[in-house]
């Protein structure tokens, strides 16, 4: 399987001419259009079983590196893992262009930086916001450098997540920590990330370039940040018919937004809360045994129908929207 980047590399190496590149790209687009609708959420994850083999080997090697380095100091373990993951990315990401190993190596690189920093600083500033603040800031710099070097699509989402951590950690320095403040911070960050994801999507409405892959991961990050504060509050409220009605109304709103932008992350993120709320409702009416299973069957069947009729439903919804919105989202067929 060859990616668009591979073909561009062939043009740069003068194996293909720019005209041949455009002809090949047009041919592949027509071929894909005959097999699937163009507004599907495509993203490359596996090119073969070798990707899994490399990931397993990398996890073993990086995990052992963390253990050995951590025997001396947490910062050393984090530094060694981050450096090792970066070095592996030089081959498996820049040269081999393997998607899944690239994602795993990015996670290890940024994650090791964060954990090594926060564990070290916790020794000097226990239970203080300075440790996570510094760790998130340093992780943001590493993610930015990683993007400049490798441009793995998930890196923008990782950098955005660490910047969110910086903002929330900074906020807790001046405002007493509470669950409510944390929910407000998560929700606000989720809205900002969602807007950022839409901007990346808008730059590639046909979803043919890396911008669409970056937007995919940003949507995947924004969804739980938006959904968790709202639905966790509802889930902790008193069980009742009113709670269930509000939950289903909010979920239908999320489903409508998902259909319009042709992204399913919001719907998936809220599923567990919907099942939990309706299970509590059935329990309150005395249906104790198997209530979660019953709700799971009902909601799962409904979502399968949505999956089957996704494009017709989306087409009917899109046609009722203003032209300005229709032109800003993927076309519907």
Write out pLDDT tens, residues 253-294: 999 999 999 999 988 888 888 888 877 777 766 666 666 777
Full residue range of the structural domain in which residue 20 is found: 1-35
- Classify residue 96: in a domain, yes or no: no
Nearest to residue 143, comparing CAs of 169, 105, 100, 117?
105
In this predicted model, what pLDDT tens digit does every residue of 73-84 receive, in sequence order? 888 999 999 999
**Per-residue pLDDT, 19:** 76
Residues in contact with 145: Cβ distance below 8 Å, sequence separation at least 6, in sequence order? none
**Per-residue pLDDT, 298:** 85
- Classify residue 14: in a domain, yes or no: yes
Nearest to residue 115, comparing CAs of 55, 156, 162?
162
The answer to whether the beta carbons of residues 4 and 99 sit under 8 Å apart is: no
- Classify residue 272: in a domain, yes or no: no
Alpha carbon separation from 24 to 20, 311, 329 (Å, rounded): 6, 27, 26
Residues of the chain with pLDDT under 50: 33-39
- Classify residue 184: in a domain, yes or no: no
As a whole number of angstroms, the distance between CA 134 and CA 18 comes to: 46
- Classify residue 308: in a domain, yes or no: no
Structural domain tally of the chain?
1
- Classify residue 16: in a domain, yes or no: yes
**Per-residue pLDDT, 300:** 87
Residues in contact with 317: Cβ distance below 8 Å, sequence separation at least 6, in sequence order? 256, 259, 260
Tokens 């340093």, residue located: 138
- Classify residue 44: in a domain, yes or no: no
**Per-residue pLDDT, 273:** 84
Alpha carbon separation from 62 to 53, 109, 274 (Å, rounded): 14, 10, 38
**Per-residue pLDDT, 246:** 87
Question: Long-range contacts made by residues 97-101, C-beta under 8 angstroms, separation at least 24?
Answer: 97/3, 97/5, 97/6, 98/47, 98/50, 98/51, 98/54, 99/44, 99/45, 99/46, 99/47, 99/51, 100/45, 100/46, 100/51, 100/52, 100/54, 100/55, 101/51, 101/54, 101/55, 101/58
**Per-residue pLDDT, 289:** 63
As a whole number of angstroms, the distance between CA 77 and CA 264 comes to: 37
The answer to whether the beta carbons of residues 155 and 114 sit under 8 Å apart is: no
- Classify residue 30: in a domain, yes or no: yes
As a whole number of angstroms, the distance between CA 166 and CA 227 comes to: 21
């Amino acid at each position: 399987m060859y990616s668009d980047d591979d073909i561009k590399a062939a043009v740069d190496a003068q194996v293909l001419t720019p005209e041949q590149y455009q002809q090949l790209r047009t041919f592949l687009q027509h071929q894909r259009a005959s097999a699937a609708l163009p507004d599907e959420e495509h993203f490359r994850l596996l090119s073969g079983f070798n990707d899994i083999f490399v990931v397993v080997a990398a996890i073993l090697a990086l995990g052992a590196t963390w253990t050995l380095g951590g025997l001396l100091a947490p910062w050393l373990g984090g530094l060694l893992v981050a450096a090792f993951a970066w070095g592996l990315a030089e081959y498996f990401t820049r040269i081999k262009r393997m998607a899944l190993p690239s994602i795993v190596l990015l996670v290890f690189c940024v994650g090791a930086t964060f954990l090594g920093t926060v564990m070290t600083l916790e020794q000097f500033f226990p239970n203080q916001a300075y440790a996570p603040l510094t760790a998130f800031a340093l992780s943001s710099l590493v993610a930015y450098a990683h993007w400049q070097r490798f441009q793995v699509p998930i890196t923008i989402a990782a950098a955005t997540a660490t910047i969110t951590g910086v903002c929330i950690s900074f906020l807790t320095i001046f405002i007493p920590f509470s669950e409510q403040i944390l929910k407000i911070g998560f929700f606000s960050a989720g809205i900002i990330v969602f807007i950022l994801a839409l901007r990346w999507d808008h730059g590639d409405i046909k979803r043919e370039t890396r911008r669409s892959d970056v937007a995919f991961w940003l949507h995947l990050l924004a969804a739980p940040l938006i959904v968790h504060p709202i639905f966790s509050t509802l889930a902790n409220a008193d069980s009742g018919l009113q709670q269930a009605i509000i939950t289903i109304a909010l979920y239908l709103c999320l489903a409508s937004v998902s259909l319009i932008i042709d992204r399913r992350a919001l719907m998936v993120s809220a599923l567990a809360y919907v099942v939990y709320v309706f299970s509590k409702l059935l329990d309150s009416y005395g249906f104790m045994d198997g209530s979660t299973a019953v709700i799971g069957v009902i909601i799962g069947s409904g979502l399968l129908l949505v999956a089957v009729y996704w494009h017709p439903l989306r087409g009917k919804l899109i046609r009722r929207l203003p032209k300005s919105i229709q032109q800003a989202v993927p076309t519907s067929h």
